[in-house]
Chain A
Amino acid sequence: KAGVTQTPRYLIKTRGQQVTLSCSPISGHRSVSWYQQTPGQGLQFLFEYFSETQRNKGNFPGRFSGRQFSNSRSEMNVSTLELGDSALYLCASSWGQGAEKLFFGSGTQLSVL
């Protein structure tokens, strides 16, 4: 069974730009969560999507948004990028909403210059 796939692996953007990250969950998993990982703040929850609806949201500004498609694939968008948005963005899938066992992808490393 294929794991969680995230694209692209690396991104370099400049301040003020926007970026879209993609995540394909494990086949059969219907929930996708997004996390931001930085050396200073560690792993922080961004949001969770289930059945194309955002079910839960972490404490991040509205510049961070996402969506989920009918095939459970998800995208995350960050608008008006700031230097502090530089981080590893991880997607995790699970079989159902709020399900505890998370399966992470390898992440997208975003650098904002």
Chain B
Amino acid sequence: GENVEQHPSTLSVQEGDSAVIKCTYSDSASNYFPWYKQELGKGPQLIIDIRSNVGEKKDQRIAVTLNKTAKHFSLHITETQPEDSAVYFCAASRGNNNDMRFGAGTRLTVKP
């Protein structure tokens, strides 16, 4: 089955800096790659997703890149703000949520 590895497990940046979180997956049939943000006491919230027919997607300060050949995808957050502090999860699936595998999560701390 799919295995998703996520790095780093913790990341601390200064406000205004960029943050990058990387994930690798094992199933070459995976074609959907969402990123979720989980704040304390809340459930994960979908912040951006990308499909395997697209190499990059951007939404304001957030971008995701996908390298199908290397089987890795990354989340980029620019101009970080304290409210970006949360745990971020990557995931990969073939298109059915029953086989969606989540990474272990990255705890991002943005220092003011």
* A interface residues, Cβ below 8 angstroms from B: 4, 33, 42-43, 45, 48, 55-58, 90, 92, 94, 98-107
CA of A24 to CA of B80, assembled, Å: 34
B95 within 8 A of A: yes
Given contacts A56-B98, A99-B97, A102-B97, contact A43 B34 (CB under 8 A): no
B43 at the interface (CB under 8 A from A): yes
Taking CB atoms, residues of chain A closer than 8 Å to B34 are: 100-102
CA distance A25 to B45 in the complex (A): 14
The reply to whether A43 and B98 contact each other, CB–CB distance below 8 Å, is no
Please list 6 pairs of residues, one from A and one from B, whose beta carbons are closer than 8 Å in the complex, sorted by A's number: A43-B44, A100-B93, A102-B97, A103-B46, A104-B43, A106-B41
Binding site for A on B (CB under 8 A): 32, 34, 36, 41-46, 49, 89, 93, 95-100, 102-105
Quote the shortest CB–CB distance from A92 to chain B (angstroms): 8
Q: Which residue of B lies closest to A99 (CB)?
A: B97
B42 A98 Cβ-Cβ under 8 A: no
> Chain A residues with Cβ under 8 A from B36's Cβ?
104
Query: Which secondary structure characterizes the binding site on chain B?
Result: mixed
Say whether A100 contacts B44, CB under 8 Å: no
Whether B42 and A106, one on each chain, are in contact in the complex, defined by CB atoms closer than 8 angstroms, is yes
A56 touching B96 by the CB < 8 A rule?
yes
Bound-state CA distance A102–B49 (Å) is 11
B98's partner among A98, A101, A104 (CB-CB below 8 A) is: A98
Question: Taking A98-B95, A101-B46 as contacts, is the C-beta distance between A45 and B100 under 8 angstroms?
Answer: yes
Specify which of B41, B49, B105 is in contact with A101 (CB 8 Å cutoff). B49
Q: Which residues on the A side are within 8 Å of B32 (C-beta)?
A: 100
Bound-state Cα–Cα, A45 to B100, Å = 8
